[in-house]
Homo-oligomer: A and B are copies of this chain.
Amino acid sequence: MSIYRDGMTETDQPIRRGRGRRPAAEVREQVLAAAGELLLTEGMAGFTIEKVAARAGASRMTIYKWWPSRGALALDGYATKVRTVLEFPDTGDIEADLTTQVLAFTRLLTETGAGKAIAELIGAAQTDPELASAFRERYSAPRRELAVTAMGKAIERGQLRDDIDPKVVVDQLWGACYNRLLVPDEPITDDFAKALVRNVMTGIKR
């Protein structure tokens, strides 16, 4: 039994390539980067496992080993692609941090291919239960959790009321952005992003 088999799962093994071996983690990273780029340039309509494999110089078999479906791969690629942009700041000032984060999110939606890609993914998920689960598990639930955690800390610091449910606030900030993305009656602007945070922080009652 070779040392590559001993105690390792198949996905941990280095992959033999013309130029030598790439560690599995590196291949995985390249597949994710290729998937994210393909999704943002071509949308879900042009997204295939074949194209991702070709871009990443990986085999389709390798990709199928790691991702159960085209949707799961697209979602993980998207999450990887936007992770840096969507990092949740923690300066200790929740109002500033929410504003920074919501602004970064709205700009991602309007200034890159991410808006169209995510709209198509959510759209397709309405009639594709497998894609819907992948979306929630691989993208929306973990992202929601980051915001809930940040607001939880702000409650502990005494910056937010302790009788609120941070999960509801997530829908009133990021969910409101998704609403304008999916049903574009009104534009997504910086003023919109700032007003979302201000309304929910201060209240609209006179």
Contacts and interface: CB of A to CB of B under 8 A. Distances in A.
Nearest to A159: B206
B185 A136 contact: yes
Given A95-B205, A204-B160, A165 B127 contact: no
B178 A183 contact: yes
A171 B179 contact: yes
Interface residues of A, number: 51
Contacts of A167: 186
Interface string A143-183: 01000000000000011111011011101101111111011
Nearest to A162: B206
Contact of A175 (B120, B135, B176): B176
Interface of A: 45, 95, 119-120, 122-127, 132, 135-136, 140-141, 144, 158-162, 164-165, 167-169, 171-172, 174-180, 182-186, 192, 195-196, 199-206
The 10 closest A-B pairs by CB, nearest first: A175-B179, A123-B126, A203-B203, A171-B176, A123-B123, A172-B172, A168-B195, A202-B203, A175-B176, A201-B205
